[in-house]
Amino acid sequence: MTGELRVLPLPGIPEIEEGDDLAALLVDAAAGTGGLAEHDVLVVAQKVVSKEEGRVIRLDEVEPSAEARELAGEEDPRRVEVILRESRRVVRSRPPLVIAETPHGFVCASAGVDSSNAKGPGTVVLLPLDPDASASRLRERIGELTGHEVAVVVSDSFGRAWRTGTTDVALGVAGMTALLDLRGTRDAVGYELHATQIAVADEVAGAAELVMGKVDGVPAAIVRGLHPSGDGRGSDLVMPAERDLFR
């Protein structure tokens, strides 16, 4: 049985620039809470990962297409142009809102292109090209720096069908199961769980969001006590269209 979990915010992470050693900055920030420990899960907001990877666009270098101008309504068409470039397809739109499917298969507002907590006015931050690779790279580098095996979740805030508000979800995962498959196990009264798969990495991302906060500028948190294992990926959490009864 799982014991107690602790969810620890990591304040004090400086503004991230392309090429920074984000893993080292996370390790430093964690030192303020006693340091990263073996089997911690480190949840890192997508935005700082993207900044480290240079996934930032200056809007004054973007020429909007006719389609972008139409979808933008009264908003900045250059931002919508970036959203279209980051999209495999537009799922829904109601100017200026665009819900898009990204090349990763994520369905989210603005294809994950975000103006908040960006690199100042006139810039937007894109999703990492490969969030699972980002998570693996951070995990490996943290192992080098600390000698500890940690799991890493790269998180972002997504809206959902049917429900209001965003919850944080796992875009990238390394060092832990992303989707816990209980099919075939039995419940406490012996009933076989036929269809139960739990998106644990999304629940971990959401738990971390509770201490991170968009306003406070805390882009990372430790989830301790989960005893992560397995080698799940964020891509495990993307639902193939043909299996999705909820869309």
List the one residue from 39, 88, 117, 141 that touches a second copy (CB under 8 A): 117
C-beta closer to a second copy: residue 72 or 137: 72
List the one residue from 57, 107, 176, 220 that touches a second copy (CB under 8 A): 107
Residues near a second copy (CB under 8 A), total? 77
- Residues 124-183 touching a second copy, rule: CB under 8 A, are 157, 159-169, 179-180, 182
187 binds a second copy (CB under 8 A): yes
C-beta closer to a second copy: residue 118 or 137: 118
- Residues 67-96 touching a second copy, rule: CB under 8 A, are 91-94
What is the amino acid identity at position 203?
E
* Cross-sheet strand order for the sheet of 89-94: 89-94, 97-101, 107-109
Phi and psi at residue 211, in whole multiples of 5°?
-105, -10
For residues 42 and 164, give the distance between their C-alpha atoms in angstroms, rounded to a whole number: 27
Lookup: tokens for 38: 């073996």
What separation in angstroms does the CA of 185 have from each of 202, 232, 236?
22, 19, 20
29 binds a second copy (CB under 8 A): no
C-beta closer to a second copy: residue 91 or 133: 91
- Residues 192-211 touching a second copy, rule: CB under 8 A, are 193, 195-200, 202-204, 206-207, 209-211
Beta-carbon contacts of 31 under 8 Å, excluding residues fewer than 6 positions away, are none
Are the C-beta atoms of 246 and 160 separated by less than 8 Å? no
Contact letters for a second copy, residues 210-239 (x by CB under 8 A): xx-xxxxxx-------x---------xxxx
